[in-house]
Amino acid sequence: MISVIIPAYNHERFIGAAIESVLGQTWTDLELIVIDDGSTDRTGAIVQGYRDSRLSYFYQENQDAFNTINRGLGLARGDFVAILNSDDVYALNRFEQLVEKQRQTGAQCLFTDVIPISDSGVVFDDPAFGWNLWHQKNRKFFNECGDLYTAFLKGNFMVTTSNLFMTAEAVKKVGPFCSLRYLHDYDFIFRMMLSFPDKVHYVQDEKLLYYRIHSGNTLGEAAIAGREQDKVVIRKYLLARVPEEIQGMVSAGTDRLVELERELFDIRNAQQQPVLPGIKKQIATLIRSISTRITS
């Protein structure tokens, strides 16, 4: 049996399609656990409108996605566990395909390629679309380097929590999702790879998940916070694969590279600004100060 967890929050427009993509699977031996994380729209009413003995609905005060998923993991009874964000959609043969792949390979965790869609369900199939360029760059790097862990340091080509398909054994060993608001899936897949080397499989030739890209979701505060968390996750799991005796050296070197990027940005930005008579001396002082830091 497969346990599917849907953490839901204010997705009345999308929750129906998500639920139907689970209940309509060609693999029918499953349970669906929907946890409503304090929605203030009609999400809860829509979920409770479905009449299927495999579906269970739970409501809680808002606790954020990672806590909601962790609650679902505690309720799951299946041999396999999957997570579906309430705005994403499964291909209807996803579980049938992944169970077969798991039986063939003995993998503890599998994920597939994805199909990006808009709010209205239109597929973003233009190769020049920004998200597609980012995703294909990450896929290309994986195919060139041939190592899953190394490729994940370059970018999260699993894309989303919705792409995880795991054994219950793996979930138990890896433990709960961490408290990173935007990148709990990225942290989780690194821990999965560390816990089960060579048992995490990328089914890259199958597109079995529709990933919804909302208008404007790459802008604003989330874009900044997400990238700050990205730095923390990459640094942590880069060092996790480095022998302990040289971790300090690698840490110092990577930190310095980040500092240099900031300093180069400051210099270039200062040089490109129009030089007014009253501030020429101040800019010269700034450049000398930055130059001193670089050479020190």
**What CATH class is the domain 2-240?**
alpha beta
Cα 16–Cα 20–Cα 24 angle in degrees, nearest 5: 175
What is residue 9's DSSP assignment?
S
In the chain, count of helices (H) and strands (E)? 11, 8
C-alpha separations of 296 from 21, 260, 289 in Å:
59, 12, 11
Q: Are 164 and 186 in contact (CB under 8 A)?
A: no
| CA–CA distance, 52 with 19 (Å, rounded to integer) | 11
Q: Are 2 and 95 in contact (CB under 8 A)?
A: yes
**pLDDT recorded at residue 48:** 96
Q: Which one-letter amino acid corresponds to residue 145?
A: C
**pLDDT recorded at residue 214:** 82
Beta strands in 147-195 (DSSP E): 165-167
**pLDDT recorded at residue 255:** 80
Q: Are 135 and 163 in contact (CB under 8 A)?
A: no
Q: Are 69 and 83 in contact (CB under 8 A)?
A: yes
Percent helix, percent strand, percent coil in the chain, to nearest 5: 50, 20, 30
> pLDDT digit string (tens) for 52-94?
999 999 999 999 899 999 999 999 999 999 999 999 999 999 9
Q: Which two tokens stand for residue 198?
A: 């060579």
**pLDDT recorded at residue 289:** 63
| CA–CA distance, 257 with 84 (Å, rounded to integer) | 37
**pLDDT recorded at residue 250:** 83
- The list of the chain residues with pLDDT below 70 reads 215-221, 273-296
**pLDDT recorded at residue 282:** 61
